Amino acid sequence: MADGLKLVCAVCGQANRVAADRLAAGPKCGSCGEALADGRVHELDGLSHDKAVRGDDVPLLVDYWAPWCGPCRTMAPEFAKAAKALAPQVRLGKLNTEEHPGIAQRAAIRGIPALVLYHRGREVARLPGARPAADIVAFVQSHRTARA
C-alpha cells in the first residue's frame, strides 16, 4: 500500500495502515475495532499519546488539560466541534496533565489549556488558552496550509 497512512489507535495503541483514499470511509483499528478517524475527541493515555505523536501520518491536535481547570472544561465542547469539522484530515485528542505530568513536562506545557499540533513526530505549532471551535479550526488549517 504505497499511499498508506499510519494511524495509532487511541484506545489500544495499535498502529494501523489505512489507504489515504479510504480515510473518509471510517477506517477501524485492526486490533480492537475502534474507529480511527471518526471526528471524536479521544482521551489519550501516556502510551497512545507518545505513539500517536511519533507515528501518525495524519496531523494530531492534542489538548493538554486538567479536570480542575475551568477554562479547560469550558473549551471541551468547542474542541469536540472542531474535531468533527476537521475529521478525517486531522485527529484530535486530549491528555489529562494531572494524570500524566511527565508527558506534560516533556511537552513543555506551561499553562492549560494548551493545544499542540503534531505531524509525523514533530511539533508544528501551539495555541495557548481556551478557544472557540472556529478559532481552533482556523489555527489548524493555517498550519496545514503553511506546511503543504
pLDDT at 21: 86
Quick check: is 9 catalytic?
no
Q: Is pLDDT of 2 > 70?
A: no
Q: How far apart are CA 107 and CA 111, in angstroms?
A: 11
Q: Is pLDDT of 130 > 50?
A: yes
Furthest-apart CA atoms within the chain: distance in Å: 45
Has residue 30 been placed in a domain? no
Q: Note the pLDDT tens digit of each residue in 62-109.
A: 999 999 999 999 999 999 999 999 999 999 999 999 999 999 999 999
Has residue 8 been placed in a domain? no
C-alpha closest to that of 145 among 122, 128, 125 = 125
Distance (Å) of CA 83 to CA 1, 15, 68, 91: 27, 21, 23, 7
Has residue 27 been placed in a domain? no
Domain coverage including residue 45: 38-147
Has residue 135 been placed in a domain? yes
Q: Note the pLDDT tens digit of each residue in 13-53.
A: 888 999 888 888 889 999 999 998 889 999 999 888 999 99
Q: What is the CATH number of the domain that holds 115?
A: 3.40.30.10
Has residue 98 been placed in a domain? yes
pLDDT at 148: 44
Has residue 21 been placed in a domain? no
Has residue 11 been placed in a domain? no
Residue tagged active-site, from 9, 12, 32, 69: 69
Quick check: is 12 catalytic?
no
Looking at the 3D structure of the chain, how many domains does it have? 1
pLDDT at 103: 95
Q: How far apart are CA 22 and CA 35, in angstroms?
A: 13
